[in-house]
Amino acid sequence: MDIPCHSEDSDESPTLSGSFVLGKTCVTAGNGIGSLSKEVQEGVSPSDQIAIKEKKKAKRLRKKQLVQEEERVRGRVSMSVYFSYMAAAYKGLLIPLIIVAQEVFQFLQIASNWWMAWANPQTEGDQPKVNPMVLLVVYMALAFGSSWFVFVRAVLVATFGLAAAQKLFLNMLRSVF
């Protein structure tokens, strides 16, 4: 509570409730700040008042957020970045192996589909071209080979990715410290 300053030549008369009388108006000490801000806002145009309210609202929202949103930038990554990533692990020697493993997998998938289409009879009256046991053994061999190359590709990609990430991370730390 503010203590009113009273001098003998002023016509202010303090009251017990913490307010004092100025002529015929009564100003409470607690409401003084609110009324001052209202008086200041009355001199501002309505569009400026809206802008001020929006700024205050944005400020409150920023205080409520624990993490601020990141800025977005549109653009593209140059090919040199991709080439440096590919060369980071094993000097890029695993990339051709990964591509070969993928190609062999695709070839075995196509071969197994072709084998089933060729070896099975097309209509009810046709005779099978191979024994059913041979049909299944060849199909299983193609499927096993296909799954093996999927496994090889996955191991190569994981090995390459881990080695590249470790090398780039360590280089980043060395450049900072």
Residue 91 lies in a domain: yes
The range of the structural domain enclosing residue 25 comes to 12-64
Domain count, the chain: 2
Q: What is the pLDDT along the chain (177 residues), one digit of tens a residue?
A: 455 554 444 444 444 444 444 444 444 444 555 554 555 556 667 788 888 888 888 777 766 666 667 778 888 989 998 898 899 989 989 999 999 999 999 999 999 999 999 998 888 888 888 998 999 999 999 999 999 999 999 999 999 999 999 999 999 999 987
Cα distances (Å, whole numbers) of residue 125 to 13, 37, 45: 118, 97, 92
Residues 111 and 148 in one domain: yes
> pTM of this prediction?
0.55
* 34, 41 contact by CB (below 8 A): no
DSSP letters for 106-136 = HHHHHHHHHHHHHHS-SSTTSPPSS-HHHHH
Are both 86 and 56 inside the same structural domain?
Answer: no
Q: How far apart are CA 149 and CA 154, in angstroms?
A: 8
Question: For residue 146, what are the CA distances in angstroms to 111, 130, 143?
Answer: 10, 22, 5
Q: Measured in whole angstroms, how far is the alpha carbon of residue 134 from the centre of its chain? A: 52
In-domain check, residue 4: no
* Whether residues 87 and 60 fall in one domain: no
Cβ atoms of 14 and 4 within 8 Å: the answer is yes
Whether residue 163 sits in one domain with residue 107:
yes
Pair (134, 57) in one structural domain: no
Flag whether 5 is in a domain: no
